[in-house]
């Protein structure tokens, strides 16, 4: 008796990634650097979010030959992104054999109303969320892992902080809500009652929660872990810094020992005097239409 | 459903001398909380180990599921590999699940991946395939009784070859997936993701023996 693609094995892979760092890479060589630094997985992309942001236009699923060459280059899990609601891109990535699919607002949405029916797939999905309602809607659709959206490619942690705090606050509010309120809370959150009840009773999501969007330094990683992230996605923060090898190692160390400021000091010192993190963007100066986080709610 | 999500554990071992024996779960990366909860359900006092000081006060250690390349590097980077080897050679029971078994093994087939070399086996990583081949299996494990064990394999390794002192306690698809050598236990699958306490109890029994 052998069952593949169950909720348990899909959510289970995300559980194995906890406490780790998942890094965006655009070449097999970068994937090897990430693995050597101690990444628990890589996100295979044609362009990192900072470049997607700079180029504009339509961002799609990455070139399959590139994704396959990254799968061949490393032994850690390989993730890849599909456009929100793009059924065929998701089927293609599953057939290619990637380990995790990110239904991502960083790419240009294919469907402006609906996300994928993710329970239909053997491959697990991760989705972004800005608050508890979004997180629970994605879980209801079948997401096996949630990440904060943050504002990808901005080098600015403020949106990720906002989203992690919103998700955490939403969870804490439910744990003290009287039972009589749960149905109307579910209505207000726009989420199914069974998931709202699960969160009220357990004080946590039923799937792993990572932080994504704007992590650029070891201290950023420690901050997000202290705010309740179970692990970290780093997109542009590594390969837009001036020393990717040093930044990737330091962010991994600061994630593991997020609760030990001395260890974060050592991780930060390991970067050396010349280290500079990626350039950041003041998001108050970015027009609403260029923000990625408001895509797919 | 034994899914446990929440903040990644802070280092949690009590360093006080004379406190009740603690079973540590190596907490550099992986599904640490799930093992801590399962050990406590099985009757032990369990804690998260991130430092040498915490390792020194543990009576037994579990290396959880996670990514083996990550954890072996972090063991080395944080100078935990040698103290861990020393504790196990002195008789501390050790159990590696999935990633933990890979890290504990003597060698990894086809990869130049360093390991702790505490279990005389060579393992093949991702032996059953990538994530799409991850599966739940009813696995017969004679030492746990007649009832099959709900084994959860996630990008799991198998035992490619084992030394003379290694006992193969369960096999699947023609390969060992649970092995024991003295006080070192290895499983390819994840008992911490199930509600079945038998394997955690079995491991605690190794502490008593």
pLDDT single digits (tens) A13-23: 999 999 999 99
- Tell me how close the Cα of B25 comes to any Cα of chain A, in angstroms: 13
CB contact under 8 A, A256 and B28: yes
A10, A33 in Cβ contact below 8 A? Answer: no
pLDDT given at position A85: 98
Residue-wise pLDDT for B179-193, tens only, equals: 999 999 999 999 999
Please check whether residue B12 touches A, CB under 8 A: no
pLDDT given at position A184: 98
**Residue A27: is its pLDDT beyond 60?**
yes
Question: Parallel, antiparallel, or unpaired for β B167-172 and B175-181?
Answer: antiparallel
Chains A–B, number of C-beta pairs less than 8 Å apart: 152
pLDDT given at position B179: 98
Given the residues B34, B160, B192, B200, select the one marked as catalytic.
B192
**Residue A278: is its pLDDT beyond 70?**
yes
On chain A, the residues whose CB falls within 8 A of the CB of B126 are 75
Which residues are CB-contacts of A201 (< 8 A; sequence separation ≥ 6)?
A: none
Strand order in the sheet with A100-104: A208-210, A145-148, A125-129, A100-104, A78-83, A41-44, A21-25, A232-234
Q: Give the integer Cα–Cα distance in Å for A136 and B60.
A: 38
SS3 content of chain B, % helix, strand, coil (to 5): 30, 30, 40
**Interface predicted TM-score (ipTM):** 0.95
**Residue A208: is its pLDDT beyond 80?**
yes
B192 is catalytic: yes
CA distances to A23, A48, A146, A173, B28 from A176, in Å = 36, 40, 23, 6, 32
Please check whether residue B34 touches A, CB under 8 A: yes
DSSP H helical ranges for A204-289: 218-226, 236-239, 244-256, 261-269
- Tell me how close the Cα of B153 comes to any Cα of chain A, in angstroms: 8
CA distances to A115, A200, A283 from A196, in Å = 20, 6, 32
* Short-list A134, A75, A68, A65, CA closest to A103: A134
**Residue B1: is its pLDDT beyond 60?**
no
SS3 state of residue A22: strand
pLDDT given at position B20: 73
Residue predicted with more confidence, A244 or A53: A244
pLDDT given at position A274: 85
Calculate mean pLDDT across residues B75-97: 97
Q: Give the integer Cα–Cα distance in Å for B165 and A119.
A: 45
CB contact under 8 A, A2 and B133: no
Calculate mean pLDDT across residues A132-138: 98
Q: Give the integer Cα–Cα distance in Å for A30 and A262.
A: 29
Residue-wise pLDDT for A183-192, tens only, equals: 999 999 999 9
Given the residues A4, A18, A81, A204, select the one marked as catalytic.
A81
- Tell me how close the Cα of B142 comes to any Cα of chain A, in angstroms: 17
Interface of B with A in 113-172 (CB under 8 A): 113, 125-126, 130-138, 152-155
B64, B190 in Cβ contact below 8 A? Answer: no
Strand-pair partners of A102: A81, A126
Q: Identify the band that residue B3 occupies on the pLDDT scale cut at 50, 70 and 90.
A: very low
**Residue B6: is its pLDDT beyond 80?**
no
CA distances to A47, A214, A266, A293, B20 from A150, in Å = 18, 6, 26, 7, 43
Q: Identify the band that residue B2 occupies on the pLDDT scale cut at 50, 70 and 90.
A: very low
Please check whether residue B30 touches A, CB under 8 A: yes
Question: Parallel, antiparallel, or unpaired for β B135-139 and A2-4?
Answer: antiparallel
Residue predicted with more confidence, A118 or B15: A118
- pTM of the predicted model over 0.90: yes
Residue-wise pLDDT for B47-77, tens only, equals: 999 999 999 999 999 999 999 999 999 999 9
């Amino acid at each position: 008796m052998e069952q593949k693609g169950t909720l348990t094995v899909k959510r289970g892979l995300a559980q194995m990634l906890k406490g780790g760092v998942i890094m965006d890479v655009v070449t097999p060589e970068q994937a090897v650097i990430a693995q050597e630094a101690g990444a628990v997985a890589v996100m295979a992309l044609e362009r990192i979010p900072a470049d997607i942001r700079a180029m504009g236009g339509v961002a799609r699923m990455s070139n399959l030959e590139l994704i396959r060459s990254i799968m061949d280059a490393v032994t850690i899990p390989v993730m890849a992104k599909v456009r929100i609601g793009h059924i065929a891109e998701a089927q293609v990535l599953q057939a290619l054999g990637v380990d995790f699919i990110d239904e991502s607002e960083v790419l240009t949405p294919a469907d402006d109303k609906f996300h994928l029916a993710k329970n239909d797939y053997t491959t697990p999905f991760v989705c972004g969320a800005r608050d508890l309602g979004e997180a629970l809607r994605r879980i209801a659709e079948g997401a096996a892992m949630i990440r904060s959206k943050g504002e990808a490619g901005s080098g600015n942690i403020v949106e990720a902080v906002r989203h992690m705090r919103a998700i955490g606050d939403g969870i804490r509010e439910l744990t003290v809500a009287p039972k009589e309120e749960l149905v109307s809370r579910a209505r207000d959150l726009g989420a199914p009652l069974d998931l709202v009840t699960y969160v009220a009773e357990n004080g946590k999501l039923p799937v792993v929660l990572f932080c994504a969007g704007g992590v650029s330094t070891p201290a950023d990683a420690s901050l997000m872990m202290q705010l309740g992230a179970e692990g970290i996605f780093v997109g542009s923060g590594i390969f837009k810094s001036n020393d990717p090898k040093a930044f990737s190692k330091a962010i991994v160390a600061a994630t593991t020992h997020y609760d030990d400021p001395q260890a974060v000091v050592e991780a930060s010192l390991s970067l050396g005097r010349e280290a500079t993190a990626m350039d950041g963007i003041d998001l108050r100066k970015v027009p609403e239409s260029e923000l990625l986080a408001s895509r797919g709610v | 459903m034994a899914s446990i999500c929440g903040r990644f554990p802070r280092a949690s071992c009590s360093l006080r001398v004379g406190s009740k024996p603690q079973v540590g779960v190596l907490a550099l990366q992986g599904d640490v909380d799930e093992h801590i909860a399962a050990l406590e359900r099985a009757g032990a006092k369990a804690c998260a180990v991130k430092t040498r000081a915490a390792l020194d006060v543990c009576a037994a250690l579990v290396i959880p599921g996670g990514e083996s390349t990550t954890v072996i590097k972090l063991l080395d980077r944080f100078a935990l590999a040698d103290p861990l080897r020393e504790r196990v050679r002195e008789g501390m029971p050790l159990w590696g699940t999935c990633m933990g078994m890979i890290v504990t093994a003597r060698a990894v087939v086809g990869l130049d991946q360093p390991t702790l070399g505490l279990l005389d086996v060579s393992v093949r990583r991702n032996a059953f395939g990538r994530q799409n081949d991850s599966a739940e299996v009813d696995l017969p494990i004679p030492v746990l009784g007649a009832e099959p064990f709900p084994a959860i394999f996630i990008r799991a390794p198998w035992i490619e070859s084992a030394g003379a002192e290694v006992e193969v306690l369960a096999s699947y698809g023609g390969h060992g997936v649970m092995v024991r050598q003295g006080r070192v236990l290895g499983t390819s699958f994840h008992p911490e993701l199930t509600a079945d306490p038998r394997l955690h109890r079995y491991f605690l029994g190794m502490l008593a023996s």
